[in-house]
Each structure stands twice: as C-alpha cells, then as structure tokens.
Chains A and B, each alone.
Chain A
Amino acid sequence: MKMMMGSSFPEEVLEHVFSFIERDKDRNAISTVCQSWYEIERWSRRRVFVGNCYAVSPAILIKRFPDVRCLELKGKPHFADFNLVPEGWGAYVAPWIAAASSAYPWLEEIRLKRMVIPDDSLELISKSFKNFKVLVLSSCEGFSTEGLAAIAANCRNLRELDLRESEVEDLNQSSGHWLSHFPDNYTSLVSLNIACLNSDVSFTALERLVGRCPNLRTLRLNRAVPLDRLAILLRRAPQLVELGTGEASDLRPDVLSNLSGAFSRCKELKNLSGFWDVAPGYLTGVYPICPRLTSLNLSYAATIQSSDLIKLVSQCQNLQKLWVLDYIEDLGLEALAASCKDLRELRVFPSEPFGVEPNVLLTEQGLVSVSEGCPKLHSVLYFCRQMSNDALRTIARNRPNMTRFRLCIIEPRTPDYLTLESLDMGFGAIVEHCKDLRRLSLSGLLTDRVFEYIGTYGKKLEMLSVAFAGDSDLGLHHILSGCENLRKLEIRDCPFGDKALLANAAKLETMRSLWMSSCSVSFGACKLLGQKMPMLNVEVIDERGPPDSRPESCPVEKLYIYRTVSGPRLDMPGFVWTKDEDSALGLS
C-alpha cells in the first residue's frame, strides 16, 4: 500500500471513494483539496463535459484527464438554432476526434451538441474505439449517411445511436441502405433515433435489425416509415419503452386494427413521439396505452386538432411530459389540467409562427389553467399571442416550484393586453415567487424595470434569454450585477451598449458565454474588452466586412464572448474578428 504524504488514506482507498462521486461539480471540488487528491481524481475521471468546445483545447483536456470514457461537447451558441449564427462560424469536432482517437482508445461515449462533424470523423470514431457504445448527435451537421454506414459497420458494441434534430445529408444514391451495414451478428442495439432523417431507410434492414436486438428499448423512426409498417416493427419489439412513429395520412381500417393490436402488446411503452401527418382516426389505436404514457410529443402532429387532442390527453393520467402544438387551445389545456395531475413539463409550440392573426384559441388562460391544476409543473415553454401581468402573477403564485420558464409572445414588444402596460410586473412576480428558477426567457413589452427585478430576485438563474426588451444599459447592468449564478446570457435586439458591458467585465469570466446581436455595443468597446480581459474570447461576428472600415463607435452586428483557457481559436472564418486578428486592431 502506497502512502501519500500528508494523507491518512492509501491511494487505492481514495480512488475507491472517489468512484462514488459522479457529478462534475463535486469532482472539481475534490480536485482542489490538495495535490495528491488532484492527481488521483484526474486519473480516475471517466466522464467529462465541455460546455463550450472553445473554452478548452483537446490537448489541455487530455493532459489533465488521461483516461476519459465519456466525452460530451457543446459547440455553437443556442441562438444558432434560430439561424442567428452564420454558416461556417465554427464548432468543428474533427480536431477533438483526432486527438481522442490516439489518447482515449477506451472511449465509449461521445455526445455532441451543435457541432459540425464530417463523415471522416464518424469513420475515425468507428475504427478507433473498440468498445464504443454511445453516439448522440444533437443538432449537429456536416455528415451524411456515409458516415452512419461506417458507424453501423464497425461499432460492434454500439448501444445507442441518436441523431436528434441533426441535419444529415442523404447520399441516397450510394448509401441509402446504411442500416444494412449493421452486421448480421450485431445484436446490441438499445436505442435508435433517426427521426430527423429526410431520406428513406431500407425497411427490410430496419425490420431485421429490430428483430435481432432483444434489448432495444428506444426506437424513433423518421417520416418515411408508414404506419402499416410500424405494426410489423412493434410485433418484433414488444419490449419497446420509447417509440417515435412515422407518418400516415390515409386512414385504413385494417392498418388501424393491426396497429391497435401491436400497441396493446407493448406493455412497457411509456414514451411516444412522431405523428407527422397522421390521420386523426389512428389515435384510437393509441388509446389503450394512454394510461401508461409518461411522455408524449405531439409537436409535429399538425393534422390533429383540439377535440382529438382533448380525447387523447384526457386518458393519459400518468403523463409527466407533454409537447404539443397550439392546436390544443385553452380548452385542451384545461382538460390537461384536469386529467394529468403528474404533469412536470409542458411545451406548446406555434402552428403558424409567422401568421399575423391568431389561428387558434390559445391565450394566456391555457397556461394559467395548467399552472393551477398541475402541482408538479416546473418546466414550461409557451408560445402565445397575448399575455397579462395578472396571468403571470397568478402563474407565479400557483407554481413557486417553477425551474424553467420560457414564454414567447409572438409579436415583439406586445404589452399587457388588458392594461397596455409593460409586462415588467408579471415577470417580476415570476422571479420573485419562483425562487428556484434556473432558466428564463422573456418576451413582450419590457422596460429596464424587469431587469431590476431579475437582478434582485433571480439569484439561482443560470440562463437568461432576452429579446426586444429594455431601454438602456441599466437593464444589462442589473442582470450582470445581480444574477450571481448566471452562466449563459443571450440577448438580441435590445438597446444595450458599452457601459454595462465594460462596467461588468469581470462578471463575464464567471459565465460560460454572452451573446448579443442587434444591440448597441461598439467595436471600440469590444476591442477594449478583449484587451482588458485575456481570459475571454471576444468575438465580433459581422458580415458587413472589416469592423475597422467603419467608425469605432459603430455597433457590431453580433457579439459572442466566452471564457477560455486556450486562448483565441485558430479556426475563425472571415467574418469573425477578435483582438488578435490584426495588429492594426490590437494593442497599439
């Protein structure tokens, strides 16, 4: 037994104790106790999460943690989901995969979000890691079915392949049958999510795959798999826990009865999604399993209207999570509130986000009903066209346990429709009553006042999204100086400028990132910030050409600031400027 200096436990014992500690925060804390604990911890860390791929480099990661088995990386900022980050900005995972391929031969899991991954990297993954088990590509792009074919062909121990909402190029001429690349003796699939694929998949290959993988519990199909084929798959995999259907616009009685039969045989099925273009008549096939459902995603079911939705959710007494289109309307949400007392998460998406007139009878009342009827509701995403301070106050008082609250009133700067005032007080009530609120998205007419409330009460707030709000830098100052736990701040179209940013420069080092677009931050301030704060990358994203061709006081288009220990990145495209870009722009 090896005794470490100053420690009363031998190394092996400490290592064993540390193996029970999984959370990153806790492991980070352990590593700061003393040098020997730091060493033991870093050799035994198996799971690493990098929230911003540019905050650290592969080399630094590998140097500190030599034996990682599970790697999770996030790339582009959240607003990239809404096309605010130009094509080619970055988040390339290739260098990470290349480094990991030699440093981590025992890597088992890779999870990526908003990153660019080429087919070459997928192939490298498939050939470098003999025990590779889990690949999750969330909102990623840059790859095609060729890359998937390599994964299928070479990853003998693959458990999970999840392409959630990624953009996959379909080279259907050459490898439309990538699924057939799974060898005949491959049987270890547990989870397959191909819902985002636009192309067809070979149904025969899919059926055979499903049939020979007895541990399959999650299967999310894409649109191309019609419902009549679904019944076949369900009969092969009655043990499924999570299912995403394809589409079926024509209602055929024989298909319906087949499907009903198949569904009722799936005793473990708890989670349903898909339902693109589904004829409402097919929903009756789902009724038998409704009482078992804990999660239902109908947010792509554009053909299902209010009355059918009501019939469906009224039978889902054990529902915990519902994602749905605003076709559910206030009436449907009332029914939800009455029937689903275990509801924890609700997301209501707009069926016609660009329409000017409301197309559905969905108002603030629906959300109020659910907040009243569902005591466990803590996570909300709600798109609507009108809101009032009264409603927000009621929601806040009903649900002090709210942890995630994202409200999107579709028309920017919409006031309280009853009083025509700003919605400052309403959101103020939310942050005041919901003391555990971690994530908040604002909308509607808002002044600097609301930020004063947020700064005062939002002590646990970690992520804040702001659009078309505020009057002055005071607003931004309240956020940055008040929200102690703020990690991510994203702002668009607000009159925030240089003052608050520069006055709170130190705060930015305590956060993961700050995004500001269409605001009033000048190029001069960006340069200054970049110079004063070496631990920050201050990226000016401007497609109008070099910022120094305009006056320094000119506001930049977009600004992305993040803390980093690896200095300025080396893969910036032409429309991104930082302090080190050009000697003329840097310190003089």
Chain B
Amino acid sequence: MSPENRNYMPESDVVGLNLKETELTLGMPGETRVTTDTGVKLGTKRGFSETIDLNLGRSNVKCHDKVCDDELENDVLGGATKSLTEKAQLVGWPPVRASRKNVMKSCKFIKVAVDGAPYLRKVDLEMYNSYQQLLSALEDMFSCLTIRNYLNEKKLMDPANGVEYVATYEDRDGDWMLVGDVPWKMFVESCKRVRLMKSSEAIGLAPRTPQKCSSTA
C-alpha cells in the first residue's frame, strides 16, 4: 500500500464505520509520514524514553522515593551497585514473570530502612562478600552516612548532626540482631531485612563485648 495524501479525518466520519476510509489513509490526524530507504515508516515510533514516560505511574523518575518494585530494582540499584551498561528498563519488558527475574544468580534481596529516612532501599546481599562491602554500599546509598569503625563495631554516622546509627537485622526467627555478630555467610542466609537504627535506640541487642551500658528507655 503506497502512501497517499493523508487527510484529516474528523471522528464523526468514523462513526459510520466506513471501511473504505480505513483502507486508504490511516494516518493519525495531523501527522506526516517519513519513509526510510528500507520502506520502514518513521514518525510514528516512539523512542524508549517516550514509552517509559507514558507509564507515568511507574516511571523511573518517581521511584527514587518509593519502595522499589521488581522490574525497577536493577534501575535504582544501577547507580549504587551495578554497572552502567544496564540501561533504563521498560515496565514489563522483556515479558518475564517476576518469579523468573531473579533466577540468574541466587539473589537475596532484602529491604534496608534507615530510621528517620522516608524511603526504603533494596539490596542484594549476594553482591557482597563481607560486612565491610555491605556497609560501604549502604554508605553510598544513604549518602548522608559515613562508616565509623568504633571499637570494632559496625556503625554509621551522619556527620551533619552527629547521629550514630547501628546496623541491625531481623533474622529468620524474627529476632533483631546486631549486624556483624555472625559469620558473613550465615548472616546472608538468615537476614530478612536490615534497619539502621539510631544508636540511642539500639538497646536490648546484646553487644559482643560489654561496653557502654544500654540505657533503658
């Protein structure tokens, strides 16, 4: 079908379900056609960024402040942990069910919350080999924090206001423990979620060595 003159077609014409009209000129109102050498028509295709924008409820732009969901995980974590060769992803493409997405490696995604921060992040514990690596990554992610190694305890601090955070995690039995107490592999196995708790609130979590006494609330 060779391109003809494109005529604007007011909607009222279509109500009559006139097939002849649809046969010849089916351009969108007001749109022009450009053809490449291979006969492929341009002008109606949208680039990836446009298609992403159409899904406004789920666009990349919004997700930084929200709990990330499956197919945006890679994108959000892209800055912090993965290489920049992974480009922005379209929602639902490629068409792979959620249960299949994390099959490539045994992924251990857990949520990380920081007391006082409005949003959660997800990290894949399988990406790290040690507590130091994990804490560095958290430092990157929650950029207001720096690691302080104080008396061999894994602590993070917000230099802006001097508030100290202690990394804690919930294990499989539902107990809250201090991060760093068990061997790394065991931690990865049993950790369900991580919370960076204000030091002042981290009471009742038995430290390894007896030090400053935990004040009761």
Contact = CB atoms under 8 A, between A and B. Distances in A.
B136 interface: no
B28 interface: yes
Interface in B51-103: 51, 54-58, 69-71, 74, 85-87, 89-101, 103
Interface in A459-508: 465, 467-468, 471-474, 477, 492-493, 495, 497-500, 502-503, 505-506
Interface string A511-529: 0000000101000110010
Contacts of B174: 173
B86 A477 contact: no
Given A357-B85, A471-B41, A503 B91 contact: no
Contacts of B97: 81-82, 165
B175 interface: no
A350 B71 CA distance: 15
B171 to A, nearest CB: 13
A497 B26 CA distance: 9
Given A351-B104, A543-B56, A493 B51 contact: yes
Given A351-B103, A502-B17, A528-B11, A518 B55 contact: yes
Contact of A503 (B1, B14, B45, B99): B14
Contacts of A474: 1, 22, 26
B98 A499 contact: no
B27 interface: yes
A106 interface: no
Contacts of A277: 106
B45 A495 contact: yes
Nearest to A520: B28
B106 A503 contact: no
Nearest to B45: A495
B170 to A, nearest CB: 12
Interface stretch (A7-15, A122-130, A236-244, A406-414): A406-414
Contact of B89 (A354, A497, A557): A354
B92 A557 contact: no
B208 interface: no
Interface in A521-540: 524-525, 528, 532
B86 A410 contact: no
Interface string B1-21: 100000001010011011101
Given A473-B22, A493-B51, A499 B91 contact: no
A287 B91 CA distance: 40
Contacts of B87: 356
Given A499-B14, A505-B17, A557-B54, A408 B92 contact: no
Nearest to B83: A356
A583 interface: no
Contacts of B27: 472
A471 B51 contact: no
Contact of A557 (B17, B55, B85, B98): B55
A478 to B, nearest CB: 10
Contact of A83 (B21, B98, B106): B98
Nearest to A413: B45
Contact of B44 (A79, A82, A352, A495): A495
A40 interface: no
B118 interface: no
Interface residues of B, number: 53
B105 A502 contact: no
A232 interface: no
Contacts of B39: 447
A302 B193 CA distance: 24
Given A354-B86, A473-B22, A499-B14, A302 B103 contact: yes
A164 B147 CA distance: 44
B46 interface: yes
A352 B26 contact: no
A453 B20 CA distance: 20
Task: Give the contact-size bracket for chain A.
Answer: 35 or more
Nearest to B39: A447
A349 interface: yes
A497 B28 CA distance: 7
Contacts of A553: 29
Contacts of A173: 174
Interface string A67-91: 0000000000001011110100000
A182 interface: no
Given A524-B11, A543-B57, A383 B94 contact: yes
A300 interface: yes
A325 interface: yes
A83 B69 contact: yes
A2 interface: no
B38 interface: yes
B40 interface: yes
B103 A300 contact: yes
Contacts of A302: 103-106
A408 B99 CA distance: 18
A580 B45 CA distance: 33
A477 B74 contact: no
B124 to A, nearest CB: 13
A277 B97 CA distance: 19
Contacts of A503: 14, 17-19, 21-22
Contacts of A528: 11, 15
15 contacts: A79-B92, A82-B91, A302-B104, A352-B104, A354-B74, A472-B27, A472-B41, A473-B22, A495-B46, A498-B11, A503-B14, A506-B17, A518-B55, A557-B54, A557-B55
Interface of A: 79, 81-84, 86, 165, 173, 196, 249, 276-277, 299-300, 302-303, 325, 349-357, 383, 408, 410, 412-413, 420-422, 445, 447-448, 465, 467-468, 471-474, 477, 492-493, 495, 497-500, 502-503, 505-506, 518, 520, 524-525, 528, 532, 543-544, 553, 557
Interface of B: 1, 9, 11, 14-15, 17-19, 21-22, 26-29, 38-41, 44-46, 48, 51, 54-58, 69-71, 74, 85-87, 89-101, 103-106, 174
Given A448-B1, A474-B26, A503-B22, 20 more contacts: A81-B95, A83-B69, A83-B98, A302-B104, A349-B103, A354-B74, A354-B86, A410-B94, A467-B93, A471-B40, A471-B41, A472-B27, A472-B28, A474-B22, A495-B28, A498-B14, A499-B9, A499-B26, A518-B51, A557-B54
